[in-house]
């Protein structure tokens, strides 16, 4: 037990010594305004930060995320075949897929799936 404590203290001392050496040796010499400003690939960082974006593109992204999560919910249904009665599994799966199809029809009816307006 005593040897484990000594090893632990030695490791803590060694890590502290390395961190201290790295802090002392890595001082920056030039702290001018240009080096401290953020690099934005040639764009002026003082300009307008928020640019307008396409709301339609945002809605398609949200629809994709929703259907991606629904695929993750459908995958365990394969395992549920073994755990449930077949009729219960069929009813649950049919209801879930019916809800998905109703949502898809609703988005299609509102023309959210069309890329151009």
Q: Give the pLDDT of the chain (117 residues) as one tens digit per residue.
A: 788 899 999 999 999 999 999 888 876 655 656 666 666 666 555 655 666 777 777 777 888 888 888 888 888 888 888 888 889 889 988 998 898 889 888 888 888 777 765
pTM score: 0.47
Residue-range domain boundaries for the chain: 55-109
Q: b/e for 54-66, b at 16 or more Cβ within 10 A?
A: eeeeeebeeeeee
Place of tokens 């307006």: 117
């Amino acid at each position: 037990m005593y040897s484990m404590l000594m090893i632990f203290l030695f490791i803590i001392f060694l890590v502290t010594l390395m961190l201290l050496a790295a802090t002392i040796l890595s001082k920056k010499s030039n702290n001018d305004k240009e080096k401290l400003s953020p690099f934005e690939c040639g764009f002026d960082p003082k300009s307008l930060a928020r640019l307008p974006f396409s709301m339609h593109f945002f809605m398609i992204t949200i629809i994709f995320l929703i259907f991606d999560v629904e695929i993750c919910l459908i995958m365990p249904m394969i395992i549920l075949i073994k755990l449930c009665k077949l009729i219960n599994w069929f009813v649950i799966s049919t209801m879930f897929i019916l809800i998905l199809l109703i949502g898809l029809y609703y988005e299609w009816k509102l023309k959210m799936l069309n890329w151009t307006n």
